[in-house]
Amino acid sequence: RVNRFYCVLPRTCVSALLLPERYDFLSPSTSLQRQILLLELLYHTMASEGLDDASPKRTNVEDMSLLSITDGENERGIPVVKFIEDVDAFANSFSPPATAELLIGAYSELHSKFKTFETSLTQKKNNFKLKVPDIEKSLALVKNLQSKKEAGESAITRYNLADNVYGKAEVDTSVGIVNLWLGANVMLEYTYEEAIDFLALNLDNAKTESKIVNEDLAFVRDQIVTSEVSMTRIFNWDVRKKRAEGGEEQKP
């Protein structure tokens, strides 16, 4: 069966990644599965020409760690994907020369790591998207109370007693005290000015953190695109190489 090639091939630390099921984790934009099937077909046809790559290649993989395909990290420790200038030269820089499956496997592993990281960053970003309007609402409310106090009025409000039930209350703004919920069942008393300062500071912090998360997200997306393009290039290089070798063998 054609699939057998992949279970048998690299008995390496990345061999687990080459089982076809793994490719479901790749983004739909890279239908690497189809391309891998194409590669399998090529192997199958060339196997009869004596270019049988089905024999277990005990490629020495101590050379090929994830370090070989990363190029440092950004300020927050996210690795940078190594851009390959020349696929052929890069493959031959390992001893023994790395096969396409090995390289694609390594990039694929890095790619899925980035994808998981992207998901967690996106969640963080969405949390901030909720947090920031929340703080803005609280800030608006306290400012409103402040202005009522300055106007010397009391505020009549309907507050949320329970779901769909509101209670009417009169807020004596001259007292000038609000209680802010700090989370973890902790509530603290503040004057209007203190509360406004505190909330403004919180808002600033949240916005800065949210900006950092956005930057990281953009960075991770760049790495994902780079690794996808690299995988495709390695694959194409391999296809051309095999085709060239197969062409030579097939000379009548």
Partner 1 sequence: MMVTPAEEEVDVEVRREDQDNINKFAGLNARLRELREERNLIKQSLERLDDASTELMMSSGGENVMLLIGESFFDTSEEEATAFCEAEVERMTETLESLDEEEASIVEKQAELKKVLYGRFGKSIQLEDK
Q: What residues make contact with partner 1 under the rule CB under 8 A?
A: 29-31, 34-35, 38, 83, 85-86, 137-138, 140-141, 144, 155-160, 166, 218, 221-222, 225-226, 229, 232-233, 240
Count of other CB atoms within 10 angstroms of residue 132: 16
Name the percent of the chain in helix, strand, coil, to the closest 5. Answer: 60, 15, 25
Please state, in angstroms and rounded to a whole number, the distance separating the CA atoms of residues 172 and 152.
10
CB of 59 to partner 1, least distance (A): 25
Which letter does DSSP use for residue 112 in this model? H
CB of 143 to partner 1, least distance (A): 9
CB of 226 to partner 1, least distance (A): 6
131 versus 233: smaller Cβ distance to partner 1: 233
Please state, in angstroms and rounded to a whole number, the distance separating the CA atoms of residues 201 and 239.
57
35 versus 70: smaller Cβ distance to partner 1: 35
30 versus 59: smaller Cβ distance to partner 1: 30
CB of 81 to partner 1, least distance (A): 10
Residue 241 contacts by C-beta under 8 Å, 6 or more apart in sequence?
A: 88
CB of 10 to partner 1, least distance (A): 24
Q: Reduce the DSSP state of residue 164 to 3 states and report it.
A: coil
58 versus 158: smaller Cβ distance to partner 1: 158
**Can you say whether the dihedral through the CA atoms of 57, 59, 64, 69 is positive or negative?**
negative
Distance of CA 137 to the CA centre of its chain: 31
58 versus 137: smaller Cβ distance to partner 1: 137
Best CA proximity match to 242, nearest among 2, 67, 49:
49
